[in-house]
Chain A
């Protein structure tokens, strides 16, 4: 097993019941000890201060942490999450500083991604009597990650709970935050929410607690933007479960432990899960046309389509030249749009880079079910329209109106086809299209 050492620059607090002792401790002998959240709850995670990118998609300017916890009840101990495999040694050292393996009654995994399940096989080998609890959606993932069926586990749902005697763990089903398997675990008597990736961030600071660490606000919002924003509707569903809890502390799987004013974090998620740009169009459907044009032909098509969709009652259309804008604001616009139309020429058998730049930036917003269509002028082959249609379908958008391709400069008849194309899309968008029968037999 590859072992990673935490940086010697990291500062640690000793195990303590008294949370008043918040000053970082640098004594090397204390570095592999657990850290107390209370006399019954300890942090046994690992710090990874040298990590500079996470899951490829996230920058981590000062590394991250893999938080895991131990809960002690009158009738046994539960371990909540583990760490990335390379950090197993320090995880087990911290675990051993507060419990014996024979005491472990339960293991709970809130999220199976390898940075949280890496030490699971070894933990189960060391504590074979422990029962493993995962979410309903985690079952097939567990087998795929660990590559054998020998593990026994119990799937749980919202409302299920397990007892440690005088301490109770209750489960909240919070899927897609950030994988389908994710769940939260609520320690009832201590009012601690072990939230998994929710309310987490990649911010490595050995002082651990939000009232002691450096300024992690950017990291928190950056993490939300890349991990949670694509699943905004699931964030809102999860908040419905979390907001009623009388939170004393949120213990996420990455970043600072949120013991100071913990309720502000669900409130902040509530704000972040609101659309970046609020719709101001009332009951009208919003349709955005993004185009780019080398010699003006695709632009003329865009203008004709724009004029057509603007004629239809109930549609609020906007048009943008990709050449004149940055991608990020367009992504914010698309998040709230009901339909997007892409106008792209074909150059060297492909759509042009600004189009792909936009379409490769949409993974951070929900696009499922949005209406989409493509048009463009071409010189001799015209592949771009079909290629972009496939990409839009890949983003789980609906593409019911076949893309419109025009060779070189559009004629008046071809501009009439743009008008017809625009009206067809507007009818789809407003639900005014007539019921159709299509023969495919």
Chain B
């Protein structure tokens, strides 16, 4: 199974995970500052800034794009409950 490396900058933890995992699942387990509200891509609570590896995440859906827009997300921001890991990334809470 392909693996990827996810680094949570705010707590200095790097996690080796199977490709396809959603970022929020890891954040919850390691106690990073990326926290969730609805876990359904609606509330924007879990917004994260992708510091490295922007292209190593699944494409945002139309719904995620809309939530990011409504929350006035900055450049390279994604929802941790929606974005699936495809390769190495470095993230922190937005």
Residues of A with Cβ closer than 8 Å to B?
136-137, 139-140, 368-369, 393, 396-401, 428, 431, 433-441
Contacts and interface: CB of A to CB of B under 8 A. Distances in A.
Interface of B: 1, 3, 11-18, 21, 26, 28-33, 35, 37, 42, 45, 66, 70-72, 93
Nearest to A398: B31
A12 B4 CA distance: 69
B70 A136 contact: yes
B16 A440 contact: yes
Given A433-B12, A437-B14, A440-B29, 10 more contacts: A136-B70, A139-B70, A396-B37, A398-B32, A399-B31, A428-B31, A431-B12, A434-B12, A438-B13, A441-B1
A388 B21 CA distance: 26
Contacts of A369: 33, 35, 93
Nearest to B36: A396
Contact of A438 (B16, B33, B66, B72): B16
B15 to A, nearest CB: 5
Contacts of A137: 70-71
Most buried by A among B1, B11, B31: B31
Contacts of B30: 400, 438
Query: A-side binding surface: helix, strand, loop or mixed?
Result: loop
Most buried by B among A368, A369, A398: A398
A440 B12 contact: no
Contact of B28 (A393, A401, A431): A393
A440 B15 contact: yes
Contacts of A436: 12-14
Contacts of B45: 396
B11 A428 contact: yes
Nearest 4 A-B pairs (CB), nearest first? A400-B31, A435-B12, A441-B3, A396-B35
